[in-house]
């Protein structure tokens, strides 16, 4: 004994099957579009942030000048450290050896 006629049962089954197929089709398109956008969005961001920004001629010259200043300051520090210190540590006056005289 069926509570529903056979034709109505087939009609409901076919319409539910058609709704399921449409839903699956729409969800697959939606998933594919979102995946496409996400993939190329991430790829674009990675490429954008990973590329090296080219310096303008002014910035390049400024960078070279800073590097030269740094190198020159290090050379000057090294030379002053190697220079024999001929002065007293406290007064900054020259140190006289026993054989030298200082005349006023």
DSSP codes, 50-87? HSPPPPPHHHHHHHHHHHHHHHHHHHHHHHHHHSPP-B
Q: Report the pLDDT value the prediction gives residue 28, as an integer from 0 to 100.
A: 97
CA angle 62, 65, 71 (to 5 degrees): 145
- Digit-by-digit pLDDT tens for the chain (104 residues) are 678 888 888 999 999 999 999 999 999 999 999 999 999 999 999 888 888 777 888 999 999 999 999 999 999 888 877 765 555 556 666 666 666 565 55
Give dist(CA 45, CA 24) in Å, integer: 31
Give dist(CA 100, CA 86) in Å, integer: 14
Q: Report the pLDDT value the prediction gives residue 13, as an integer from 0 to 100.
A: 92
Q: Report the pLDDT value the prediction gives residue 99, as an integer from 0 to 100.
A: 60
Q: Which residues contact 96 (CB under 8 A, 6 or more apart)?
A: 102
Q: Report the pLDDT value the prediction gives residue 22, as an integer from 0 to 100.
A: 97
94: helix, coil or strand? strand
Give dist(CA 47, CA 64) in Å, integer: 28
């Amino acid at each position: 004994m069926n509570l529903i006629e056979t034709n109505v049962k087939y009609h409901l089954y076919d319409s539910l099957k058609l709704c399921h197929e449409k839903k699956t089709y729409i969800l697959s398109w939606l998933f594919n579009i979102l995946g496409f956008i996400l993939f190329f969005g991430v790829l674009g961001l990675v490429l954008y942030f990973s590329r090296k920004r080219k310096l303008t001629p002014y910035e390049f010259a400024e960078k070279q000048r800073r590097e030269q200043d740094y190198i020159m300051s290090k050379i000057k520090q090294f030379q002053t450290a190697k220079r024999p210190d001929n002065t007293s540590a406290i007064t900054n006056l020259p140190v006289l050896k026993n054989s030298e005289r200082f005349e006023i």
